[in-house]
Chains A and B, each alone.
Chain A
Amino acid sequence: MEQIVEEFTTQVPRWRPNVEPIRLEDATPVQRKALEVTPSNGPISDYVLVLAHDPEILIHRNPLFNEIMTGSEGGLSRGERELGAVGVSEANRCIYCTAVHAKRYISLTDQAEVIESIFQDEATAVLPPREQALFDYAVALAATPPRANTIHITSLREVGLSDLEIIDLTLSASIFCWANRLMETLGQPMTASEE
């Protein structure tokens, strides 16, 4: 029996759509074009088939997402971009996004203990100084209205971030404020059925 996953985990849940995905065989030429680039260049999932209901934004959003998280050169490391994604996804309680990007963060940085602290204490997690500065900024930016302030920026500069690196962190945190709103409303994170 499938159940909704309520707790943070690095076991990626199955995403069950709340609206009907389009059928690939019925896709219009515009929809087919929009499906040519997928998030993180993964397979065509139910998630992208749901988003294909609005191909005009999808055709730009997938390349934007990929450029922010992995494509753009220099600046913040890929692992630390993932930490921005995790901070925001935790703050917005998006179980699915948190699982995917916590797992990716660990594989890129080998810092499982950072994720363990975040899962245990959430926004009040105590982390090493550099990770703390990145995480606190991402969490503050996720609030509505955003609570990020110049103290956060000072902390980021103190741990060595350049303007370009702070821009990259801002972009990864911000694109997840968008991604979380898609993932946690257009579908639900489900446990894989035990058979």
Chain B
Amino acid sequence: MSSRSLIPRIAAVEATSPLATALDERTSILDLSELSHHAVIHPDDPGGLSLGLRVALATRVAATNEDGPLTEHYRAVLDIAADVPPEVRELMDPGHQPASEAGAWLIAVVAHADRLTSVPETSTATTIEALQAAGVDDADIVRLTQLIGFVTYQVRVIAGLRLISE
């Protein structure tokens, strides 16, 4: 699985390079990373976070981290996802904030996704209470945190692999 898995593919690791040889010793980590990717983007039980919302937020995190190829990857997945409402699709752009008509739930989810992406250290017990007050249940708070956390991990492994191969 590892040679075709997303992280080395997005990092453009060349198959015959010394880096690829070193990565062969970390196949199980690449495989577990791929399984983690599947679990946050395409879970069997998505809870309150639809596939479209998950991919739009993943695109947003990749874009905030200025990773062009990863942003393009998630955008392409979003493009072929069915039944994604426009107010969700637009969230792929970090400059876009949901309008008040989008509802308290979506506004709270996006605000927390942005905090988790860029300034997680500013989160307090009150931040989580505000999410709960907007109707985001505890399981969805955990799902959202894992999704954003995973993409922040993925972005940095990709960044490191690119730097090693430069």
Report whether over half of chain B's contact residues are helix, strand or loop; otherwise say mixed: helix
Q: B39 to chain A: which residues have CB within 8 Å?
A: 56-57, 59-60
Contact with B along A1-28 (1 / 0, CB 8 A): 0000000000000000011100000000
A184 at the binding interface (Cβ < 8 Å)? yes
Report whether over half of chain A's contact residues are helix, strand or loop; otherwise say mixed: helix
Q: B117 to chain A: which residues have CB within 8 Å?
A: 144
Contact with A along B43-64 (1 / 0, CB 8 A): 1110100000000000000001
Binds B, one of A108-116, A117-125, A162-170: A162-170
A171 at the binding interface (Cβ < 8 Å)? yes
B123 at the binding interface (Cβ < 8 Å)? yes
Q: A144 to chain B: which residues have CB within 8 Å?
A: 64-65, 117-118, 152
Bound CA–CA A188/B66 (angstroms): 30
Contact with A along B129-148 (1 / 0, CB 8 A): 10010000011011101101
Q: Number of A-B pairs whose CB atoms are under 8 Å?
A: 162
Question: Does the CB pair A146–B164 fall under 8 Å?
Answer: no
Question: Does the CB pair A54–B116 fall under 8 Å?
Answer: no
B125 at the binding interface (Cβ < 8 Å)? yes
Interface size class of B (residues with CB under 8 A): 35 or more
Instruction: Point out which of A20, A68, A173 has the most chain B C-beta atoms below 10 A from its C-beta.
Output: A68
Cβ distance A190 to chain B, nearest Cβ, rounded Å = 11
Binds B, one of A38-46, A128-136, A174-182: A174-182
**A92-B121, A93-B121, A186-B128 known; A181 and B145 CB under 8 Å?**
yes
Question: Does the CB pair A51–B156 fall under 8 Å?
Answer: no
**Interface size counted on chain A using CB atoms at 8 A:** 56
Q: Which of B29, B66, B121, B145 contacts A186 (CB 8 A)?
A: B145
B161 at the binding interface (Cβ < 8 Å)? yes
Bound CA–CA A162/B19 (angstroms): 10
Q: A residues near B, CB below 8 A?
A: 18-20, 50-51, 53-54, 56-57, 59-61, 63-64, 67-68, 71-75, 92-94, 141-142, 144-146, 148-150, 152-153, 162-164, 166-171, 173-175, 177-182, 184-186, 188
A-B contact pairs, 16 of them (CB 8 A): A19-B128, A54-B139, A54-B146, A57-B143, A60-B36, A63-B32, A71-B28, A74-B25, A146-B65, A150-B166, A163-B18, A163-B19, A164-B26, A167-B23, A174-B157, A185-B127
